[in-house]
C-alpha cells in the first residue's frame, strides 16, 4: 500500500506503538517530560467509545505532551516532518511513534489520506488545527482544509485548548521557562452533529474553542515565566521599530530589545510584557501594528514593482532532499519585490516569480519556499524576521489572513 505513494504514512505496527506509548511512554518518558516541562493539563475522565479527531492549539514545542497527559487514548499525531531532520530525534520518532508527517513542499492530500486510513482502523488522530506554532501569543487562523477533512473522516471531534505554553518557550526563542502549561478538553462534537454543519461552521467552532490571547490571559492570571534571556531573538518576529519606523534595526540582548537606529529599547518582565512606558506592552500588538503598516504601503509596491520591499543578506540556502537539508550556498541575499523573489550568492542566481505557483512558510529561524516541486529553506546567520516574506506575499495576493 505504501509503495503506491511513499508520501502517505499509513498506520502500521499499531500493537507495538500502543505498547511503547503505555510502557515506555506513560510509565517513563512522558512522565519524566511532564514533570520537567511543568505540564499541568487536566486528565480527561470521560469514556470515549469510537474514533475521534482531536484538535489542539499549537503553542510551543511541548504542547503534544499536554495532549498525552490528558488523553489516555492511543492516537496518531499529524506533525511536521521538520522533526525528522533533527538527527538526534529521528531514530526515536521512527521507533517510538507512528506519526502522520506533514511534509513541507508537498500537498496536504497525503496527510489527509493517512488520516482516513487511520480512523478506518479505529485509531484516533490528533492534530494542531492552526498548522503551525503560534508566533505571537494568539491563536492563528484554522487551516481552511481542516473542516473539510473532519467532515470527510466522519468521526467525532474533540477540541483541546492549552494556556500558558506560549510563554513556556515561544517560537522565536531558544530557551524555555519553568512556568506551567495548562489545558483541558473544551468540547466534544458528535459526528451526527458535524454532518449538519458546513465546513466553515466546523472551522469556526474549532477557532472559537481553541482561541486564546496569551497576553490577555496572563494579564489576568499573572503567572511567572522567568526564563533565561527573556528577549532573545524577538527580532525573529518583529522587524519594524515603532519609534523611527525603520526595518531591520531591532536586536535583542538578554532581556532587552532595542533599535540600533534610534536607540528605542524595551525590556521584558517575568510575565512576558514590555515596560509600562513602551509604545506596545506586548509582542502581539506590536506584530499586528507592523502588519497594518505593510498593508498601508502595499499600493506603493504595486506602483513601483521594482521596489525592494524586504531583503536579508548573509543567509544560508538549503534544499530539502528526503529527511535531510542540503546546503546549496552558505552566503546568499534574498530580496522581494512586488513581482518576484530573488536569491543571489557566489554560485546562485535564482528567481521566483510571484505570479507562478509559489508558497512561503515560516519556519523556526528562517523561511521556506516551495516552488516547481522543490522545497528550499533560507536561514539568516543573524536573527531576522523571515516570516515577513510570507506576510508580504499574502498582502500582494490580497488574502484575508496575513500571519
Q: What CA–CA distance (Å, rounded) separates 302 from 203?
A: 33
Q: Can you read off the three cell numbers belonging to residue 145?
A: 482544509
HSE of 253, CA atoms in CB hemisphere, 13 A: 6
Contact yes or no for 199/328 (Cβ under 8 A) = no
| Chain position carrying cell 550568492 | 345
- Structure-block grid coordinates of residue 125: 488522530
Q: Which of 113, 92, 105 shows the shortest CA–CA distance to 2?
A: 113
Q: Which three-class secondary structure state does DSSP give residue 8? A: coil
Beta bridge partners of 268: 274
Task: Please report the domains of the chain, with CATH numbers, ordered by start residue.
Answer: 2-221 (3.40.1130), 234-292 (no CATH), 305-396 (2.30.29.30)
User: How many alpha carbons lie under 13 Å from residue 191 in its C-beta half-sphere?
Assistant: 16
- 196: its cell numbers: 449538519
pLDDT at 106: 63
Q: Find out whether 106 and 322 touch, Cβ atoms under 8 Å.
A: no
The upper half-sphere exposure of residue 102, i.e. CA atoms within 13 Å in the direction of its Cβ, equals: 16
Where does 98-140 have alpha helices with state H? 109-120
Helix (H/G/I), strand (E/B), else coil: 330: strand
User: Pick from 84, 104, 100: which is nearest to 92 by CA?
Assistant: 84
Cα-trace Rg, the chain: 21
Give CA–CA dist 257/274, Å, rounded: 9
What pLDDT sits at residue 321?
79
Cell matching residue 381: 546567520
pLDDT, residue 89, reads 56
Alpha carbon distance 70, 96 (integer Å) = 19
pLDDT of residue 104: 64
- CB of 375 closer than 8 Å to CB of 320: yes
- What pLDDT shows up at residue 4? 34
In the block, residue with C-alpha cell 531583503: 311
Beta bridge partners of 213: 138
Q: Provide φ and ψ at 29, rounded to 5°.
A: -65, -55
Give the model's pLDDT for residue 269: 96
Q: Determine phi and psi for 115, rounding to 5 degrees.
A: -65, -40
pLDDT, one tens digit for every residue, the chain (403 residues): 333 345 677 777 677 667 776 666 667 767 888 888 999 999 999 999 999 999 999 999 889 889 989 998 888 999 876 666 666 555 556 655 678 888 665 667 888 999 999 999 999 999 999 978 899 999 999 988 999 999 999 999 999 999 999 999 999 998 889 889 999 999 999 999 999 999 999 999 999 999 999 999 999 999 999 988 999 999 999 999 999 999 999 999 999 999 999 999 999 999 999 998 999 999 999 999 999 999 999 999 999 999 999 999 999 999 987 767 899 999 999 999 999 999 999 888 999 999 999 999 988 889 999 999 899 999 999 999 999 999 999 999 998 877 6
Amino acid at each position: 500500500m505504501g509503495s503506491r505513494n511513499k508520501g502517505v504514512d499509513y498506520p502500521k505496527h499499531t500493537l507495538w506503538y500502543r505498547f511503547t506509548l503505555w510502557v515506555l511512554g506513560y510509565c517513563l518518558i512522558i512522565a519524566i517530560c511532564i514533570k520537567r516541562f511543568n505540564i499541568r493539563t487536566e486528565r480527561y475522565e470521560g469514556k470515549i467509545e469510537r474514533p475521534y479527531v482531536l484538535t489542539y492549539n499549537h503553542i510551543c514545542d511541548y504542547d503534544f505532551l499536554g495532549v498525552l497527559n490528558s488523553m489516555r487514548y492511543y492516537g496518531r499525531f499529524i506533525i511536521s516532518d521538520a522533526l525528522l531532520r533533527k538527527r538526534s530525534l529521528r531514530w526515536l520518532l521512527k521507533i517510538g511513534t507512528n506519526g502522520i508527517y506533514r511534509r513541507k513542499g508537498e500537498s496536504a492530500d497525503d496527510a489527509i489520506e493517512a488520516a482516513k486510513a487511520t480512523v478506518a482502523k479505529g485509531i484516533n488522530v490528533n492534530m494542531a488545527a492552526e498548522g503551525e506554532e503560534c508566533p505571537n501569543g494568539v491563536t492563528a487562523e484554522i487551516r481552511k482544509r481542516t473542516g473539510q477533512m473532519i467532515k470527510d473522516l466522519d468521526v467525532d471531534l474533540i477540541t483541546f485548548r492549552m494556556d500558558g505554553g506560549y510563554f513556556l518557550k515561544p517560537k522565536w526563542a531558544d530557551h524555555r521557562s519553568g512556568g506551567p502549561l495548562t489545558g483541558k478538553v473544551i468540547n466534544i462534537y458528535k459526528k451526527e452533529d458535524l454532518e449538519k454543519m458546513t465546513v466553515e461552521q466546523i472551522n469556526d467552532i474549532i477557532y472559537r474553542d481553541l482561541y486564546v490571547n496569551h497576553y490577555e490571559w496572563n494579564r489576568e492570571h499573572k503567572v511567572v515565566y522567568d526564563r533565561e534571556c527573556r528577549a532573545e531573538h524577538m527580532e525573529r518576529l518583529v522587524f519594524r521599530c515603532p519609534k523611527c519606523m525603520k526595518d531591520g534595526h531591532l536586536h535583542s540582548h538578554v532581556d532587552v530589545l532595542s533599535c540600533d537606529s534610534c536607540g528605542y529599547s524595551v525590556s521584558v518582565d517575568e510575565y512576558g510584557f514590555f515596560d509600562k512606558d513602551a509604545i506596545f506592552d506586548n509582542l502581539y500588538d506590536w506584530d499586528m501594528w507592523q502588519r497594518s503598516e505593510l498593508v498601508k504601503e502595499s499600493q506603493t509596491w504595486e506602483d513601483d514593482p521594482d521596489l525592494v520591499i524586504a531583503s536579508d543578506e548573509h543567509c544560508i540556502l538549503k534544499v530539502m532532499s528526503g529527511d535531510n537539508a542540503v546546503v546549496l550556498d552558505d552566503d546568499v541575499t534574498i530580496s522581494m519585490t512586488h513581482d518576484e523573489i530573488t536569491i543571489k550568492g557566489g554560485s546562485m542566481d535564482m528567481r521566483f516569480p510571484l505570479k507562478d505557483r509559489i508558497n512561503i512558510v515560516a519556519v523556526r529561524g528562517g523561511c521556506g519556499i516551495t516552488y516547481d516541486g522543490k522545497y528550499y529553506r533560507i536561514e539568516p546567520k543573524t536573527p531576522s524576521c523571515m516570516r515577513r516574506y510570507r506576510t508580504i506575499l499574502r498582502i500582494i495576493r490580497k488574502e484575508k489572513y496575513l500571519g
